[in-house]
């Protein structure tokens, strides 16, 4: 260093032994990178916390519906799946949900819906959750002036259930949807009256995400 150079007060040369003790100051890009990693960690922590809260809500709904179905002897099952909480109500030989060949709800089905509706509503009160109602039929062919096939019939039945939830239990219309699968998603072979009754079912699926997915 030229003898004429007078370093400012507090200046420490890179050759000063103290540099090796405290190290060099971090370059600006490293500071920015560290800030970014911290923000990402906070973001993922919030996502995890939200996911855990939603999962906890569905677990409570699942247990409540399961207990209700057991107490009321409602045929079907409730289970947690990778898609969300799935609740399947199945007909029995002596219990029908709809007028034969129609989408008109029978009193027994209305009673079942009334019993599980409060729990379903709590399940979709979580902001990102919504309810998908699936209609399913057996394989007995249908062709009427109103329903040309089981596709139309199953969709109409699911829509009737959705309308009942909206009109009788104040479900928000933007958080419920209906879909029909006809006879093509069976849970038992259509080889007996009891098995066909199992396939004539309504499935409630509480999902997380956009309702268009």
Contact 147, 153 (CB under 8 A): yes
Q: What are the beta bridge partners of residue 87?
A: 78, 204
Contacts of 66 (CB under 8 A, 6+ apart): 78
Kindly calculate the radius of gyration of the chain based on its CA atoms and give it in whole angstroms: 30
Element (H, E) at 205: strand 201-208
* Single pTM value for the model: 0.73
Instruction: Kindly list the structural domains of the chain, giving each domain's residue range(s) and its CATH number in brackets, ordered by start.
Output: 55-208 (3.30.1330.60)
Query: Is pLDDT at 53 greater than 50 in this prediction?
Result: no
| Tens of pLDDT, residues 185-196 | 999 999 999 999
| Tens of pLDDT, residues 112-141 | 999 999 999 999 988 889 999 999 999 999
Q: How confident is the model at residue 172 (pLDDT cuts 50, 70, 90)?
A: very high
Token pair for residue 71? Answer: 């107490």
| Tens of pLDDT, residues 75-125 | 999 999 888 999 999 998 889 999 999 999 999 999 999 999 999 999 998
């Amino acid at each position: 260093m030229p003898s004429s150079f007078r370093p400012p007060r507090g200046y420490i040369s890179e050759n000063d032994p103290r540099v090796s003790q405290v190290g060099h100051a971090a370059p600006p890009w490293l500071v920015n990178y560290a800030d970014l990693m911290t923000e990402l960690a906070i973001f993922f922590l919030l996502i995890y916390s939200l996911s855990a809260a939603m999962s906890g809500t569905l677990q409570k709904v699942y247990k409540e519906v399961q207990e209700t179905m057991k107490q009321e002897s409602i045929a079907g099952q409730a289970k947690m799946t990778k898609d969300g909480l799935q609740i399947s109500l199945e007909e029995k030989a002596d219990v029908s949900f709809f007028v034969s060949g129609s989408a008109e709800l029978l009193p027994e089905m209305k009673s079942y819906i009334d019993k599980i509706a409060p729990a379903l509503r709590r399940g979709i009160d979580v902001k990102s959750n919504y309810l998908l109602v699936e209609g399913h039929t057996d394989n007995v062919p249908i062709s009427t002036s109103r329903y040309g096939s089981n596709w139309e019939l199953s969709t109409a039945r699911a829509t009737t259930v959705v309308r009942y939830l909206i009109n009788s239990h104040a479900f928000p219309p933007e958080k419920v949807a209906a879909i029909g699968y006809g006879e093509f998603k069976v849970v038992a072979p259509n080889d007996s009256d009891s098995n066909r009754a199992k396939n004539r079912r309504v499935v409630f699926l509480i999902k997380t995400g956009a309702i268009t997915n």
